[in-house]
Amino acid sequence: MDSFGSDFSSGSSSGKIDSGTIMEQVKVQIAVANAQELLQRMTDKCFKKCIGKPGSTLDNSEQKCIAMCMDRYMDAWNTVSRAYNSRLQRERARI
Amino acid sequence: MADFSSSFDMPSAGSSENAEAAELQRLIAVEQQKAQFQAQVHNFTDVCWDKCMDKPSSKLDSRTETCLVSCVERFIDTTLTITNRFTQMVQKGAH
């Protein structure tokens, strides 16, 4: 994974920190890393589910399976995200 | 996953710049927390996909959805159980 590196030097000669630009960079880098993680895991799962004995190309059924698998993986991800969020809120309410 | 921790020493500056730096650190800490949540969702989805998904279909049926939610809850319960019991074992002097 890419390292979380950011250039914290400001472009202005006064040396003041440009918080807005830095936060934009932070958010973009995190979003990119998140998307990379999603794709990597999705590829792993869908390859396992959809490709049996690897042939010389991806045939039509394999293509369709991959497309469905991607949609289901994202549905699963959203379901898990909601479930985890609920659990966290429940635990916080107990404290 | 990338290590999203960042610490940086601010040179001693005027108090307004220190306040800005502190605010920036706080904002970054918020984004880090969000990133940690996302990372956990990736982990849970990975594990629970294997437990709950059969053949990819055209939508996520309610049985699978229930399984995913239960999977997240039970995984967290398992983590807590292991943490608590391990703590007890360590306190009793077990290896």
Please indicate, yes or no, if residue B44 is contained in any of the structural domains: yes
Chain A CB contacts of B31 under 8 Å are 23, 26-27, 30
For B2, the closest of A3, A76, A79 (CB atoms) is A3
pTM of the predicted model as reported, rounded to 2 decimal places: 0.80
Q: pLDDT tens, B39-58?
A: 999 999 999 999 999 887 89
Range(s) of the domain holding residue A77: 20-93
Burial B59-83 (b: 16+ CB within 10 A, else e): ebeeebbebbbebbeebbeeeeeee
A17, A33, A86, B5, B24 from A12: Cα distances, Å = 9, 29, 44, 26, 17
What is the domain count for chain A?
1
Question: Is A80–B24 a contact, with Cβ atoms under 8 angstroms apart?
Answer: no
Please indicate, yes or no, if residue B19 is contained in any of the structural domains: yes
Instruction: Output the domain CATH number for residue A69.
Output: 1.10.287.810
Please indicate, yes or no, if residue B79 is contained in any of the structural domains: yes
Burial class (CB in 10 A: 0-12, 13-18, 19+), B17: middle
| A55: closest CA of chain B, how far (Å) | 20
Range(s) of the domain holding residue B34: 14-94
The complex's ipTM?
Answer: 0.80
